[in-house]
Amino acid sequence: MEWSRAPYVISTDTQRIDVDAVHAFLTTAYWSVGVARDVVQRAIGHSLNFGLFHEERQIGFARVLTDYTKLAYLSDVYVLSEYRGQGLGRWLVQVVFGHPELQDLHWMLCTSDAQGLYRPEGFTPLSRSEMYMEKGPRRPVNP
């Protein structure tokens, strides 16, 4: 699928995603500092991706982990700094939340600095955070 706001385009075509560009941004983002390229590639392969393009240059990205029936988790949302302040981030998340296959789902995301971007879309802090648990990656045990 594609959405256009000339000269910008948002596309879910995974073949258009510039993995090197996404990796270059994510490796310096606070939530994924130093992430390996193969990890980014694998994450893209297992997600519904939204690439934001200015002409052919990838300038933003978002991905959704979902079962398409109950749950969706929004991750890795960004717009390059030189393109911020034009409403592109807001447009990107509106396109994501408006995607026809992602309706009537329970959405989750984590952010430490973009609450203002997500509040207009109906996001609030966890109402019952004591119900949620997490588990980090498994660490190898030294024999």
Q: Which residues contact 70 (CB under 8 A, 6 or more apart)?
A: 105, 106
Pairwise CA distance, residues 116 & 127, whole Å = 18
> Residues 62-113: pLDDT tens digits?
999 999 999 999 999 999 999 999 999 999 999 999 999 999 999 999 888 8
pLDDT at residue 136, rounded to an integer? 79
Residue 135 pLDDT greater than 80, yes or no? no
Higher pLDDT, 67 or 124: 67
Residue 139 pLDDT greater than 70, yes or no? no
pLDDT at residue 53, rounded to an integer? 98
What's the CA angle centered on 105, arms 103 and 111, to 5 degrees? Answer: 110
Q: Give the predicted TM-score (pTM) of the model.
A: 0.89
In this prediction, residue 126 has a pLDDT band, given cuts at 50, 70 and 90, of: confident
Asked if 12 and 48 count as a contact pair (C-beta separation under 8 A), the reply is yes
Judge residue 104's burial from the number of C-beta atoms within 10 Å of its C-beta, 0-12 exposed, 13-18 middle, 19 or more buried.
Answer: exposed
> Residues 36-71: pLDDT tens digits?
999 999 999 999 999 999 999 999 999 999 999 999
Q: What CA–CA distances, in Å, run from 118 to 70, 93, 115, 141?
A: 20, 8, 5, 39
Q: Which structure tokens are listed for 4?
A: 């256009």
Give the number of residues written for the chain: 143
Q: Give the helix ranges, DSSP H, for 1-143.
A: 19-26, 37-45, 88-98, 115-118
Classify domain 2-124 by CATH architecture: 3-Layer(aba) Sandwich (3.40)
